[in-house]
């Protein structure tokens, strides 16, 4: 299985600040068709996860442009700018390139 | 608005069975792959099963293969997960999700808690 490693485990940020979360995969996430199926999800406290970013850098419907994804191969980053209170929670990366779909262990974003 | 509402969770003894349901609305259910993803208490996310639009193809990770069966009823816009031979490590909140190759898990339900304990 593809192992997804997220760093850091937790992150403290001031409102209005910027943060980056790293996600590394144990194998390349480039599919034979040329696409890279790497997604980012946010799970707010007491809620179910929600999709933020798909295929590395595409924002899902209704997601603020304060969220941006980048990377390639095995190394990916989620950046959040101008952090707002509603951004707090646990962020997960996930891959769908190789069976089975797997997720990182999560990065908890907290207020400083 | 896409809505996914799970039901059927509860307390079950090890070795017993349980069937989860998910009622979908707000989209054409029969056009989408669907999935179950679980989250053990205070833990991360684990994909459990996916089913194709017609139900003819199903996919599972090794951890549940042979014990869990995903199915769907497109006429009722409903998704199911039959869980047999349950183990304590199956204790988790089970989420129903719309699954696509492009988007990943695009929409999630609120989850239903399954506790496997004697």
Asked if B9 is an interface residue toward chain A (Cβ–Cβ < 8 A), one would say no
pLDDT at B25 > cutoff 90: yes
| 3-state secondary structure labels for all residues of chain B | CCEEEEECCEEECCCCCEEEEEEEECCCHHHCEEEEEEECCCCCEEEEEEECCCCCCEECCCCCCCCEEEEEEHHHCEEEEEECCCCHHHCEEEEEEEEECCCEEEEECCCEEEEECC
Q: What is the pLDDT along chain A (112 residues), one digit of tens a residue?
A: 999 999 999 999 999 999 999 999 999 999 999 999 999 999 999 999 999 999 999 999 999 999 999 999 999 999 999 999 999 999 999 999 999 999 999 999 999 8
CB–CB of A4/A102 below 8 Å? yes
Residue among B5, B36, B41, B44 with most chain A CBs within 10 A, to mutate = B44
* Residues within 8 A of A (CB atoms), B 41-80 only: 44-47, 50, 59-62
Tens of pLDDT, residues B47-101: 999 999 999 999 999 999 999 999 999 999 999 999 999 999 999 999 999 999 8
């Amino acid at each position: 299985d593809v192992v997804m490693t997220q760093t850091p485990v937790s992150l403290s940020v001031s409102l209005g600040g910027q943060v980056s979360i790293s996600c590394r995969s144990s194998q390349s996430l480039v599919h034979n068709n040329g696409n890279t199926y790497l997604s980012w999800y946010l799970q707010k406290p007491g809620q179910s996860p929600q999709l933020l970013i798909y295929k590395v850098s595409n924002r899902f419907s209704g997601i603020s442009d304060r969220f941006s994804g980048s990377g390639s191969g095995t190394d990916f980053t989620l950046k959040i700018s101008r952090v707002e209170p509603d951004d707090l929670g646990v962020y997960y990366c996930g891959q769908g390139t190789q069976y089975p779909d797997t997720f990182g262990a999560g990065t908890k974003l907290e207020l400083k | 608005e896409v809505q996914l509402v799970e039901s059927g969770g509860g307390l079950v003894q090890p070795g017993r069975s349980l069937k989860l349901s998910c009622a979908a609305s707000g989209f054409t259910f029969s056009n989408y792959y669907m999935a179950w993803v679980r989250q053990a208490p205070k833990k991360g996310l684990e994909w459990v099963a996916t089913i194709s639009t017609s139900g003819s193809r199903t996919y599972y990770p090794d951890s549940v293969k042979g014990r869990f069966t995903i199915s769907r009823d497109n006429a009722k816009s409903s998704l199911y997960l039959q869980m047999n031979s349950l183990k304590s490590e199956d204790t988790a909140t089970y989420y129903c999700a719309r699954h696509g190759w492009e988007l990943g898990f695009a929409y999630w339900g609120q989850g239903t808690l399954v506790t496997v304990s004697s």
